[in-house]
Amino acid sequence: MKILVLIKQVPDSTTNVKIRPDGEDIDRAGVKMVVNPFDEFAIELAVQLREKRGDVASITALTAGPATAAEALRTALAIGADDAIHLQDAAFEKLDEIQTAAVIAAVVRGENYDLIVRGKQEIDLDSGQLGPALAEMLDIPHVGAATKLDMAADGKSLVANRRIEGADEIVEARLPALLTIEKGLVECRYPSLPNLMKAKKKPVRTITSGDVAGFAGIVGSVGGTEIHKFEPPPQRPPGKVLKGDASETVPQLVKLLREEAKAI
């Protein structure tokens, strides 16, 4: 079984991120970048599958991003991936998730991955489009936001649980398939120092737009989403404190909820 893990490097959620004055992107100077937390579960799942089963031949980590994204790949390699693919080109940085999925499909098609896993969404743009789009482009089944996974003994199918409103849905799919991971499916480990050192010697293949046959046509064929401007969320108005007896404040509160908050 060959497993491909898709990861993305994102700003650390504890970092104070600011928007550039031109509004075209965030100011990345001094921003700590980490592996997307949902993708950490995908890496861990792949490694645990290898530990539990004897048929996982290889685990490959893949990311698209600038040179600094190589750090995210090294983390995946330290946790247990065998090799990595880095889509690194200024042209890739201008793509949206659907276009990126089309490029990844062009790169991995023919590699015969049995299972592709990634987090259910990214904590930066928070869209979660790439996984389902890639499955569609590769014409393989997709199970989204999986909370539990069982592989068939013969390694030819899987059964996954996914949380839906008011219930758990159980889905069976034949391999090859793509799985997006919900938080909590597995418990992530921290890469040890020896494994971090070993990760530096594991192979990382860098791919540019020139290495993708028909790159312009691939990107153009799926359209694209254009981000016009980044803006911080509006500041919350100051809270109001109502003083007095309940007989006085309750009618005031009801009026505020109806006329200002539009909550009732």
pLDDT interval class at 262 (50, 70, 90): confident
| Domain(s) of CATH 3.40.50.620: residues in the chain | 2-221
Q: Rounded to whole angstroms, how far apart are CA atoms 32 and 41?
A: 20
What's the pLDDT at 98? 93
pLDDT at 17 over 90: no
Q: What percent of the chain has pLDDT over 70?
A: 100
DSSP letters spanning 205-243: EEE-GGGSTTHHHHHHHT---------PPPPPPPP----
Inform me whether the pLDDT recorded for 224 exceeds 80. no
pLDDT at 163: 85
> What's the whole-number mean pLDDT along residues 191-207?
94
Helical pair 37-52 and 70-79, crossing angle rounded to 10 deg? 30
Helices 130-138 and 97-108: crossing angle, nearest 10°? 40
Residue count of the chain, please give it: 264
pLDDT at 4: 98
Cβ neighbourhood burial of 101 (10 Å; 0-12, 13-18, 19+): buried
pLDDT of residue 3: 97
Tell me the CATH class for 2-221.
alpha beta
**Tell me, what's the pLDDT at 106?**
96
| Percentage of residues in the chain having pLDDT higher than 90 | 64
Does residue 169 or residue 237 have the better pLDDT? 169
Greater confidence (78 vs 237) lies with 78
Whole-number mean pLDDT of the chain?
91
Task: Give the H/E segment covering residue 4.
Answer: strand 2-6
Position 223 scores a pLDDT of 77
Distance, C-alpha 150 to centroid of its chain: 21
Residue 223 or residue 34, greater confidence: 34
Q: Are 46 and 6 spatial neighbours (Cβ–Cβ below 8 Å)?
A: no
Give 173-187 pLDDT, tens digit per residue: 999 999 999 988 899
